[in-house]
């Protein structure tokens, strides 16, 4: 009997997101501190003769066509680089909201690469894994390790893994999709120009909770204003989170529409979750711990 391998694909949260400018080729240059939840989507791999894909879960219906799925693309990109790559059935249980600014598809792709590597006895630092990740999508490389770090450029520049204090968070998505390209278009940054929004504060390992919060307050998500224009409900989510007792920082993640609140402790998160769900039963609300 074939045994399945299992990997989690956690949500990626942009604790900060500075837009530094736009390159001549149209790509936007970013600088961002990212951290990851401890749960999210779930992928399994069962050895087989060919690559097959099974998709289910609460948010599977919003995930588009199977051929467009980043997890499938990632494995195919790896197969182009590893001769004789053993294939199998990739089963994705989709729990995270789609087009939500929390890197769900990219994290799925990274988890698929980790599964393919395990199934083929490839080391985690095999350069072909990173090459396949970069080819699949800009956010896939940072999701391979799924640990807190700074990322820059269009996602290809990864800083060292950072040891952050435990961050109790409440993640809220109003179930409204926001396409990244639409938010960038609204920002109207011309190719070949630099922004002047301000530099990113230095973030180092082993900061205590209060020091990290103080540093994060000096950072921003430069995509927030544009996202709020395109989806005014984002402003509502931010206001609700900021008003919750114990919330130390409320911010949008990525290009939205998901927002998060960092709280003083897990009890404050639980109270806020109950209050928000009572008032907004149609919102996706998740308590998590970032690492």
One DSSP character per residue, 254-272 reads: TTSS-EEEEESSHHHHHHH
Whether the Cβ atoms of residue 205 and residue 279 lie closer than 8 Å to each other: no
Counting Cα atoms < 13 Å in the Cβ hemisphere of 36 gives 26
How high is the pLDDT of residue 2? Answer: 56
**How many other CB atoms sit within 10 Å of the CB of residue 90?**
25
Output helix, strand, coil percentages for the chain, rounded to the nearest 5. Answer: 35, 30, 40
How many Å apart are CA 28 and CA 226, to the nearest integer? 15
How high is the pLDDT of residue 152? Answer: 96
Name the catalytic one among 73, 94, 108, 139.
Answer: 139
Could you give the residue range(s) of every CATH 3.30.70.890 domain in the chain? 167-290
Q: Tokens 């540093």 map to which residue?
A: 215
pLDDT of 4 strictly over 60: yes
How many Å apart are CA 116 and CA 135, to the nearest integer? 16
Q: Taking residues 70-96, what's their average pLDDT?
A: 97
Could you give the residue range(s) of every CATH 3.30.230.10 domain in the chain? 5-158
**How many other CB atoms sit within 10 Å of the CB of residue 192?**
11
Q: What digits encode the pLDDT tens for the residues 167-209?
A: 999 999 999 999 999 999 999 999 999 999 999 999 999 999 9
Q: How confident is the model at residue 3 (pLDDT cuts 50, 70, 90)?
A: confident
At residue 227, φ and ψ (nearest 5 deg) are -65, -40
Please indicate whether residue 211 or residue 68 has the higher confidence score (pLDDT).
211
Is the CATH code 3.30.70.890 the one for domain 167-290?
Answer: yes
Q: What digits encode the pLDDT tens for the residues 235-253?
A: 999 999 999 999 999 999 9
- 185: CB partners within 8 A, 6+ apart: none
Q: Taking residues 200-221, what's their average pLDDT?
A: 97
Core vs surface per residue 158-172: b (16+ CB within 10 A) or e: beeebebeebbbbbb
CATH of 5-158 given 3.40.50.720, 3.90.79.10, 3.30.230.10, 3.90.1170.50: 3.30.230.10
Whether the Cβ atoms of residue 115 and residue 7 lie closer than 8 Å to each other: yes
Q: What digits encode the pLDDT tens for the residues 98-120?
A: 989 999 999 999 999 999 999 99
Active site residue 12: yes
Q: What digits encode the pLDDT tens for the residues 280-290?
A: 999 999 999 99
Active site residue 218: no
pLDDT of 1 strictly over 50: no
Whether the Cβ atoms of residue 8 and residue 95 lie closer than 8 Å to each other: no
Q: How far is CA 24 from CA 135, 136, 138, 190, 192, in A?
A: 20, 22, 17, 9, 4
């Amino acid at each position: 009997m074939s045994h399945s391998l299992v990997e989690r694909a956690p949500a990626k949260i942009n604790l900060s997101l500075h837009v530094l400018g736009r390159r001549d080729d149209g790509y936007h240059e970013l600088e961002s501190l990212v951290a990851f939840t401890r749960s999210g989507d779930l992928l399994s791999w069962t050895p087989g003769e060919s690559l097959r894909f099974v998709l289910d879960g609460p948010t599977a219906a919003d995930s588009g066509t199977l051929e467009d799925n980043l997890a499938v693309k990632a494995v195919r990109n790896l197969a182009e680089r590893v001769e004789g790559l053993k294939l199998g059935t990739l089963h994705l249980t989709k729990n995270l909201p789609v087009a939500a600014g929390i890197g769900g598809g990219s994290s799925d792709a990274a988890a698929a690469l980790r599964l393919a590597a395990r199934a083929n006895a490839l080391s985690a630092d095999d350069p072909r894994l990173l090459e396949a990740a970069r080819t699949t999508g800009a956010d896939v490389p940072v999701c391979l390790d799924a640990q807190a770090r700074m990322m820059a450029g269009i996602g290809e520049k990864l800083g060292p893994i950072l040891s952050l204090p435990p961050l109790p968070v409440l993640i809220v998505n109003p179930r409204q999709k926001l396409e990244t390209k639409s938010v960038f278009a609204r920002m109207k940054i011309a190719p070949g120009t630099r922004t002047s929004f301000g530099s990113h504060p230095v973030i180092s390992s082993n900061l205590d909770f209060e020091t990290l919060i103080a540093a994060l307050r000096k950072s921003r998500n430069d995509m927030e204003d544009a996202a709020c224009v395109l989806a005014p409900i984002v402003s509502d989510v931010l206001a609700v989170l900021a008003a919750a007792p114990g919330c130390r920082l409320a911010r949008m993640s990525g290009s939205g529409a998901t927002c998060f609140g960092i709280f003083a402790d897990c009890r404050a998160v639980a109270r806020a979750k109950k209050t928000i769900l009572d008032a907004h039963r149609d919102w996706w609300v998740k308590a998590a711990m970032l690492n």
